[in-house]
Structure 1
Amino acid sequence: MELCPYDIKPSCDDQMCLSEILQVQDQPVSEEQAWALCYQLCSLLRQHQSRHKTWTRVGLPAADGVVFSRDGNISLRVTEDGTNSVMETEEQAVEFVGRLIYSCLDWGLETQVERELNETLEILVCQMTKVNLSFCDSKPMCTVSNVIQVCKHRLYDPGQATQHYKNVCSILFLHTIELCHYLQMVQQSRKSLQKLIIESEPNLILRVTTNLVSGWKDLVEELNRGVVLRPLTKCVTVTKSPPPVETAPYEQLLLDIKRRRYTLRKVQSVVDGQTTTGLGA
């Protein structure tokens, strides 16, 4: 059976839609990525509002129509089936964005699994979607500007919000493109292995390539946490043998017997009144 991510082929290396990113990553977005997505989408809505001087109808696409670019910018495009949701009011647009963010945070999780979010993000999503407001005693978030302000003021330097969130989206895009290319190479390797595999082990290819994908994601996460790869030439070479490990007396005796590290000597014993000579340790 083919793994879903291997079938993803982005139209180019400069753009990729949100649904493709979710499928290739095969996991929901992180909280920081959710903040970045929320900020950029609301910024697009505010640009729409500024052009028309007031709020007008706007068609918002699902994940298929949210397009990430290499530089971290996000744009909207009409989906192929033309199923953009038309928002009549700003309040509806804010709620639509909130539900889209929630679906990305919840993507791929089982229905009985409830993801724990940072309190600030959870409150914002609840305010935007008007869901479960009782737990935080908050009012619905109805304006795009209010959402943008929340996204800005959670940062140490609100003035750097635009660049910060672009960087977050750019990193997500670049990592997804790299992973996509890696998965395609794995797919090609699987096809080569299929010619060599034994019929009695039909699941061997799936196990091997799945481990490769998991290893790649672990490596990227390690690098993101600041782990530095050391050149092979700088690896520490052990020139001295490790110090001997102390063993218990009975273990040492057992080793001596196995390795015949002992000397037998003549001993005499009396059996039925007769003296006999033998060997003893």
Structure 2
Amino acid sequence: MESPRCEQRITKVSLAEILRCFEHPISEEQAWAVCFQCCRKMEQLAQGLRPPLHSVFIKGPGSIFIHADGTASFKVYHKSGKSIDVGSIQQSEDKLLEYLGVVIYEALDWGIDSQVERELSDPLEKLLCLMLKLDDEAMKPAVTLQDVIKACEEHLATTSEATSHCEMTCRSLFTEYMELQKLVTIIQTSKEVHLGSPLSCYSPVDLALTGFSEASLWPNVIRELQNGVRLRKATERPQRHAPLKECIHSPYELLLDDIQHKRYTLRKVSD
């Protein structure tokens, strides 16, 4: 029997799930889009849309959700809930933006070796420093939602297209995740059929011997596609001629071959 998650159509996925699925960090363009969509959502909540902004909980990539329509949402604290510490709820706008900045930075740094520092573009690095309060100017006023939204808009050549562009970028991110999950499920199912039992019944060594790996293959494929793949012309491909196998032809095949290669002499027929 399938789980309810499989039966129902998935409409949102956490940023943490996306990162675990792809096993590589998000791109700068995706970071701008996620940041913009999150700030727009905060802006809507601040204007009275439920749930109220003070109930929003941002702590790690698992607390931000990307929806199928390209919008974003957050994990929400409920008074009846016991899973979230009340003292950890961020109620101020600048605190929410600070924690959002931490999540964006984590997503940009996901899976990168601790000894390697990712180089970011100046505008994005400046925005993150502003959100994380890393600016040296102590007397500088706290960053606001409008400051971050404006920075995200000015990142684009046409500021008026920010909403549609960021929505499309987040929608593509969700779609890529769903397609990859579907592909992995198909391969996993086919392997289970081949092995005769669910994959959970086998040890990692057994799965390795059968050539199955849940995660190692797809990030490499995606990384190569993102970096660009050069297609060779057919003439550049190495020609591998298989040795011809001797076979016995029927009289009809021999006759047909003679006709095709014009191995015959026609005699003139008189009227």
Q: How would you bin the TM-score normalised by the shorter chain?
A: 0.5 to 0.7
State the distance in 2 between where 1:33 and 1:140 align. Answer: 28
CA contact (8 A) 2:12 2:68 kept: yes
State the distance in 2 between where 1:11 and 1:113 align. Answer: 41
Question: Of 218, 226, 232, which residue of structure 2 is paired with 1:213?
Answer: 218
CA contact (8 A) 1:9 1:180 kept: no
Distance 1:208 1:147, change over 3 A: closer
Q: Is residue 2:147 matched to residue 1:146?
A: yes
Aligned partner of residue 108 in structure 1, secondary structure:
coil
Q: Is residue 2:43 matched to residue 1:46?
A: yes
Question: Of 21, 30, 35, which residue of structure 1 is paired with 2:32?
Answer: 35
Distance 1:148 1:10, change over 3 A: farther
Question: Of 95, 99, 104, which residue of structure 2 is paired with 1:96?
Answer: 99
Alignment of 1:107-256 (within 5 A): 107-131=110-134, 133-134=135-136, 139=140, 142-194=143-195, 202=206, 203-206=208-211, 212-214=217-219, 216-218=221-223, 220-221=225-226
State the distance in 1 between where 2:117 and 2:6 align. Answer: 31
Give the CA deviation at 1:190: 3.5
Give the CA deviation at 1:147: 0.6
Distance 1:56 1:208, change over 3 A: closer
State the distance in 2 between where 1:59 and 1:111 align. Answer: 30
What amino acid does structure 2 have at the position aligned with 1:217? I
Q: Is residue 2:38 matched to residue 1:16?
A: no
The runs of 5 or more residues in structure 2 that have no matched partner are: 198-204, 240-271
Distance 1:25 1:10, change over 3 A: farther
Aligned partner of residue 13 in structure 2, secondary structure:
strand
Distance 1:13 1:184, change over 3 A: same
Aligned partner of residue 66 in structure 2, secondary structure:
strand
TM-score normalised by structure 2 residue count:
0.66
Aligned partner of residue 87 in structure 1, secondary structure:
coil
TM-score normalised by structure 1 residue count:
0.64
Give the CA deviation at 1:72: 0.7
State the distance in 2 between where 1:105 and 1:10 align. Answer: 32
The runs of 5 or more residues in structure 1 that have no matched partner are: 1-7, 230-234, 242-281
Query: Identity of aligned pairs, percent?
Result: 30
Give the CA deviation at 1:129: 0.6
- Deviations 1:217-270 (Å, cap 9, x if unpaired)? 257537xx6x899xxxxx9689xx9xxxxxxxxxxxxxxxxxxxxxxxxxxxxx
Structure of larger gyration radius: 1
State the distance in 2 between where 1:94 and 1:108 align. Answer: 23
- Deviations 1:143-168 (Å, cap 9, x if unpaired)? 11001000001111101101100000
- Deviations 1:96-123 (Å, cap 9, x if unpaired)? 1111111111222232221111111111
State the distance in 1 between where 2:7 and 2:23 align. Answer: 15
